[in-house]
Structure 1
Amino acid sequence: MRRLLPSLFSFACTCAVLVAQSPCAISLGPDVTVCLEASFRLVPQEITPNTTYSWSGGLGLSCYNCRTPLFTATDTGTFTYVLTAKKDSCTASDTISILVLPGKAAQYIIAPSRSLCEGDTMHLGGPPFANTSYSWFSQPPGFISTEANPVITALHQARYFLTASSPSCPIPSVDSVSVDIWFYKPTYTPAEDTLYLCRGQSLSLGIDSTGWDGIFTWTPTDALSIEQNGKRATATPARSVRYVLTAATPVGGCAWEKVYFLSVDSLPADLRILPQDTSICPGDTVLLRTPPFNLGNYPGLTFTWTRTPTTTLLTADTLPNLLVRPEQTTTYRRVVQVGSCRDTATAIVNLRPLAPLLLPPSNLTLCPGDSILLNSLFDPLANYTWTSTHPGFGTVQTPAPVFYPTQTATYYVETANGCIGRDSVRIAVHASALLQVSNDTTICRGQSVRLIALTDTPGGLFEWVRTRDNQVLSTAQSVLVSPDTTTSYIITFTYGSGCQRRDTVVVNVDGENLNVLFPSDPRLCPGETLTLNLAPNPSLQYEWTASPPDPGLAANAPAPVVSPGRNTTYTVTLRDGLCTLTRSLQTLVFSATLTASADTTICAGDRIVLSASGSGPSGRYLWSTGETTAIVAPSPDSATSFVVTYFYGDTCALRDTIKVTTVPSFSLAIVSVPDTNRLDLGQSVQLFASVSPPQSLSGFSFSWQETVIDTKNLPFNSANIEVRPASNDTASASIRYTLRAVSPQGCVRTAEKVFRLLFPLVRFPNAFTPDGDGNNDFFEMLVLEGRAQIERMQIFNRWGKVLFESTAPDARWDGTVHGLPAPSDVYLYRIAWRRNDGAMMPIAVGDVTLLR
């Protein structure tokens, strides 16, 4: 029987390495309270070996010079023990008090710690005691029990903790037992117990644990090839068999068994597909067979047929034999399987092609007299036999016969190239259409006649073509023609599917000499002449008229010459016997006006804009300068005449000249004193007008402008002025002066001068040292850029009293008050100041530190 205190006790000694008299620390933990008959060990933790221990404090310990004495509570009361531990020159001690209460401690039995084989079982406790309850748990977690003697299966290293409680003692008893794994069982590959293989196949079995050594035994050894170390074996059984592999450790007495059951299946010996490869004609069938065998010897045997591509099957695809009728060459695959046995076989059924044929389309309809090629594709080694319902066709044995059908019929063909093929085509033939047209006729030149075509077939298309130039005149059933000379006309009637009937009509023309040749370009400029007939014929009679009337027209001349002053239409009537011809020519007389700029005088070198405006249609301009726009802008240095020509109509032209007279010119610039482009605000600057070439300025007039944001006129009209620029435009920070000068001859020139304005940039020190060393001796306004001056400077002490005040433009404080040095302190300042142009700036307020 064991009784265990619920607390463990330990001490620790910490000594510095290689240092004498190092301090040590020891702790036996807190004081403990137990009941009678409790028994436990005081277990300090030893840090280094070779340590001596000495216990003192009275009876109750099993030993006094050992490390872990056993304490047994045999009497009530308080028991105090002191442990002294020595290690070289290091000495440490600690004290523990144990209070033993009346009442009997809970009773229990616990097994000693052990090392087991993986999978072994073990009882952790013993028989139960009356009025005692038990509670077990494990670390790592996973086990819980309330039995006095539970059984565990050793799968991994663990510690099992027991808590025993009874009504006689308020303090429960706590103890533990450790279970280590002496040997872990090996890992098997494959891990399954039941395996399947086909007869003749081999399978590797056994232990796959690297470094796992022991004693291995296989039973039985039939059909086994065992490796030298015995861990693994290769099995090639002919029938189902059970193998047992026993693995035992060389020490510790651990042993494990692994049972393998190998289920062996088999397939029939001959599983070919018959025929394996074959060829058939389209539409034929073939039976793909499996050689016969006794199906009862192979229970569970299955057949699965697949094919590529998917073609027609005539029987189910799960039978030993398969009846097929492929539409193309097909590969058939049959899988036979029972258990783990599987066999795959293939057979190819080649589809022999029929002799090639390319018949005419079935919707073809021929015209009367057309021929037809019955086949456009054939094999010269194959046989072709043709028959037809057409009278007189008979039997034809050529691959590609040509026939001229006269009626609708069906044509049949049979091909033979080892396979028999049959096909047919129906060829329709349109009935012949009736076409009647007008008779040949005679007309006078200039007259018209209507030609008419008649047919008995509705829905057709008509086309009239003039043979002289193959021009299509009409697609109507009739056409009105007016030929100048004898002309033939062809009428084509299209019906059915492109069938055609044709006829020709001749129209004879009398008076073919009636002809007038007008000029090709009847457009005239004012004053031009025009010959109205370029091919006069003295044998003909001419009668000319004009609208509006033209007094200069010779009414009976074969080729009159005219010069109309406006648009006029001329009409002529020619006579030759009974035939007449009337023709008209409309003339176009162009007219236009040209307006150009007036003569002018400019300063030499100035740009002058000259313009011209013409009123004629589609006009264009050409200046003596070579420019072709309506407006030009030359800059002559001397007197010049500019000629502009305006072209309009049919090469008609109008001209004008513009005379430009020049007077002497000059150039203008602004010179500043000082010569700079940077000015302080309010800084005075003189501006001078510089005229080149140099000359007297007495006859000149001047005007000045100033631009900052807006432009204003300055009240000066002299050549030289003085200004003081002012501005609030800190964004652009610039000012521009513009001078306009007019010479006595009226020439005008302008010039500009731009200055960058410097706005004052001031700073106020935050400290100064009036010690007379010439460095930072005064508090003053520092002008970093531009110009500025002080209006009033005031210095206050921290209570607001004025200590210093000045209105001098360059006021500064030397750090004295009434002639006496002011003490080091922080002083306040208030400074009013203005820019150089007089503008007041915001008052500066701040503090300055005087340092002495």
Structure 2
Amino acid sequence: NPVQVFDDTGGFGFQSATVTIDIGGCTATDFINITWVPFDVPEVVSDMTICQNSVVQLAEQIESLSTTYQWTPEEGLLPSAQVSGPFAMPDQTTTYTLVSTAGTGDTACKDTASVTLTVLPADIDIDQGDTTFICLGETATLTNTHTPNALDIMWSPSEFLTVISPEEVEVTPPASQYYYATIETADCVVTDSIWVQVDSLPDLSIMADPMKPSYCEGEEVLLSSPTYEPAHFSAIEHFWDPNGPGAQTPDSFLNMVIIALEDFTYIRTTTVNACTSVDSIFIKVTPVTSISVVPSDTTVCPGDQVQLTIEGPAELTEFMWMPPDGLSCTDCREPIATAQQSVTYQVEAEFEGCPVGASATINVPSQFFSYTGPTVVCPGTTVLLNSIFLPGAIYNWTSSNGSVNTTEPQPSTTLNETTTFNLTASLGECTFETSFTIEVLEDFTVSVEQPGTSCPGDAVTLSAVADPSSPNINYSWTNATTGQMVTGNPVTVNPVETATWTLTATDACFTNTVDVVVEVAPQFGVTVSPAQDNVIAGTPSTFTASATTAGIDFVWQEIPGGAQVGTGPSITVTNCESQQYQVTGTDFNGCTQTAFAEQIVSDAFSVGTPILLAQNGDTIVFSDPLMGVDSAIYEGEQVEMVVEVTPPISGATYIWVVNGDTITTTQDPSSGLLFLPEVSFDINSFFEVIVVGPSGCDDRGVLEHFILNNPVEAPNVFTPNNDQKNDKFALVSLRPVEILDFRVWNRWGKLVYDNKDGQGFWDGTINGKPAASDVYVFSITYQIPGSNNPMKPLRGDLTLLR
């Protein structure tokens, strides 16, 4: 068949075909390639009627790589007229046509579709746009334009809204929010909205730092307002009046730094959208003033007085003159200066709080005189009486001995005796007078007081006397035997043997010497035998002292403490503990030597830790109620204390102590049965035994054990009248108790109750009949479960009342 139909049922999008013709054995062949192009045609919406300002998507949205789309008319289609499904919002009835095309040329595929949107007129617009701005507390007027006319308009929300007319409302919201204007026709509801932005301003009051009534010209001042959180006022803007003099920072800052130049009111305008604040501050400036001191430059003689006066405004205050030397006052306006040398005075003051200053110079002629030589000299010394010369000055020198009488400015003289020199000098009107003395030393003699005999190593004071005395004499002492040298007067030395000391006394001109013999008593030594004795406690030791020199007296003392225990060469001592002794030997010169001895004492016996035994002989182990160990003993309980002494001794005394109180004393290592002392509360107690041997030496052992407070008491009155209150006589206890014996007697000694019923209480009856009101006697023996022994019996009087 010369006509063949091809399709793309396989979905490959491409096919190749070959056609061949055979005529009489001749063949012809041709080829063709067939490409199927995807043709994506969207489904267009049906014609519809819509409200004005309604949005309609004209067709489905297809993302196609092979098909192009073109809508007409193009006006108002979003995002464009070249997509398959644009959005339209027509103001009037409109027919939109879509042409879909796939491929090119004569073989291109095309499809045309259209949709008609019939628009019902209904529109409303708020005239103020999408956003309007107001300041907090202010009112915004909102108006609208709408079609068709004569329709009701609804404004919302109603809060903070006042309706003036359907077309106009006033709103005063406290915070930013949307307002809506809505019209409704038979078929359409149309709404427009506006965002009312409500802004506010922070505290913008302006303060000056420093805060003062006025500022000095040239003073730096900070004009500032309280800080605020920028995020709360994001649109805030500041603008300072650009005409403000002395501004140092940009005019757009909240704060401004200025240099005070003149009186001026600084103004800053701050806005946040519709909010505006104009703030200002007046800066009063005190102009720079000048002062001067009269006289500003003058020449006077040394010691003359000059009246200094400040010339300037009368309002000057806070005067301060420097340096203060020579001024009658330093905080006044007109001080008197007394100058001994040239000086420039500076003065500072305040004018309306601003500093001002000036200076004045007082010129004083240079020194007439200066003596720089020695004031103490040797005979024959030549000195220069004046080391300086003031040109033009007239000098007149005299002396106390007549050796000097000259007008030379700088005379020299040779001295052989102490002399006073007088000088009178003048220069113009200035006169200078002075006198000074130069001492000429005289030769002197020196002597030393002979010290008494001293003990070896004792301190000896050597003292010299010079005639005539002078503070300018230096003293040096030398030991002729050892070469030791010390300086000063007096001096202290510690000689160990007799020696000659030579004193050399020297001043600036003369030297004198003198010898002195320092007598030292002969050295001797003391020893003790034995130096150490090891004994058993209570055993005596004898110590004997000897000296290298005869005629020595001995004194024995305990160390430490110093208690004297004997005199003479020997002592015999007995101790329970180790003890050291010092023996001091003294010769006829009062010189002493010491030696030491020690008695080292070993214990004669040792005492172990006491053991507590119950009445049945069982050992009572350590108890701690806090740790839950159950071996309790109570106050009033009977126990026995025993102890082991190693080695066993006879003739010893055993003192048994509980909590510091002696309970009993025995002659054997057992206390026998004893009652534990009363305690006010459970207490960790100390059981101690002190063993005193026949020699009087003792040792001790200590045991810790809790003694528990006995909580059991017996009342002294009861009222068995069946009122359920105090009807029975029984023990009162916080712990369970076991009654071992419970008996009651009347005043004549007759037994009226013996607990044979095992009740552990008396109900106030005798043989089943009420007992008479009277006083009875009771005895109760009990034991607390967990304890080791019965408690001490409770006995006493009991009153029965009915």
TM-score tier by shorter-chain length is 0.3 to 0.5
TM-score normalised by length of structure 2: 0.36
Give TM-score, length-normalised by structure 1.
0.34
